[in-house]
Amino acid sequence: MSNQNPTRRYRRRTLRIAVEYHSRSGTCSETATTLGAGGLFIESDTPPSEGSLLKLRFQVSAAGAHHELEGRVVWSRGISAGHAGTPGMGIEFTDRRAIKLLAQELDTLD
């Protein structure tokens, strides 16, 4: 049995945080349920299409920094797509400097 998931560079965390993102369609507020320094999963019934560029803003913890990152939708599934699983989108962060700062904060969490 082969592993079809590519090797992840950063560890992922399961959590629930509010994420605001801006795309060509406007600004939305949704919930992220998985986060790593390389990207996150955002729940959304109507996610932007694959390849869409986003500007994201979120805070990992109440005492943590506000993160503002740029990202790209690498996959998405809407509520009407007929796919199993939670509707939403996988985002890959594209700003290396911001990724480094986020990775440092995530490393300090237990």
CB neighbourhood size of 21 (10 A) = 25
Q: What pLDDT score was predicted for residue 7?
A: 58
Domain residue extents for the chain: 13-108
pLDDT of 2 over the 50 cut: no
Write out pLDDT tens, residues 86-98: 899 999 999 999 9
* CATH architecture designation of domain 13-108: Beta Barrel (2.40)
Q: What pLDDT score was predicted for residue 4?
A: 46
Q: What pLDDT score was predicted for residue 9?
A: 67
Separation CA 100–CA 29 (nearest Å): 24
Provide the whole-model pTM: 0.84
Give the model's confidence band at 83: pLDDT under 50 very low, under 70 low, under 90 confident, else very high.
low
